[in-house]
């Protein structure tokens, strides 16, 4: 019985570690640049359940970085939705970088849905270059 519980615990730990690793992304950005990080939307059965546009904020990270969401219709290709859905493009902007550095930024996206607020976070490993 102990051996079975131990194996289950290891399996859960591996699943969690995989999910955490998948949430991290590495990128490089130069001072004055804006990078599009991807489309954001919230859907159910190819219908948007957003009450308003998604928003984003940096919870922890260097002050030279900022995030924004450009509201627009996006294609939910992963879910194979036939029509574009309300959502936006998540962007990262760097300003006033004076030296090369490697930093971590924690970005949180907020979705106001018909079922209440939903959140998703992403960890960015950012190499910043002047």
**CATH number, domain containing residue 50:** 2.60.40
3-state SS string over 2-61?
A: HHHHHHHHHHHHHHHHHHHHHHEEEEEEECCCEEEEEEECCEECCEECECCCCEEEEEEC
Residue 10 included in any domain: no
Residue 88: pLDDT band by 50, 70, 90 thresholds? very high
Residue 89 included in any domain: yes
Instruction: For residue range 55-76, list pLDDT tens digits in order.
Output: 999 999 999 999 999 999 999 9
**pLDDT, the chain, mean:** 86
Residue 7 included in any domain: no
Report the pLDDT value the prediction gives residue 19, as an integer from 0 to 100: 38
Residue 67 included in any domain: yes
Instruction: For residue range 7-47, list pLDDT tens digits in order.
Output: 333 333 333 333 344 468 999 999 999 999 999 999 999 99
Domain that holds residue 81: 24-129
pTM strictly above 0.85:
no
Structural domain count of the chain: 1
CA distance 67 to 57: 6
């Amino acid at each position: 019985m102990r051996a079975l519980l131990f194996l289950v615990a290891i399996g859960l730990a591996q699943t969690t570690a995989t999910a955490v690793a998948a949430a991290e992304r590495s990128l490089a950005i130069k001072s004055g640049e804006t990078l599009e990080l991807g489309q954001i939307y919230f859907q159910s059965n190819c219908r948007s359940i957003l009450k308003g546009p998604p928003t984003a904020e940096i919870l922890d990270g260097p002050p030279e970085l900022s995030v924004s969401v450009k509201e627009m219709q996006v294609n939910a290709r992963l879910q194979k939705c036939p029509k574009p859905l309300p959502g936006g493009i998540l962007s990262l902007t760097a300003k006033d970088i004076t030296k090369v550095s490697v930093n971590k930024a924690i970005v949180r996206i907020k979705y106001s849905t018909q079922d209440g607020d939903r959140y998703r976070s992403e960890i960015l490993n950012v190499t910043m270059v002047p």
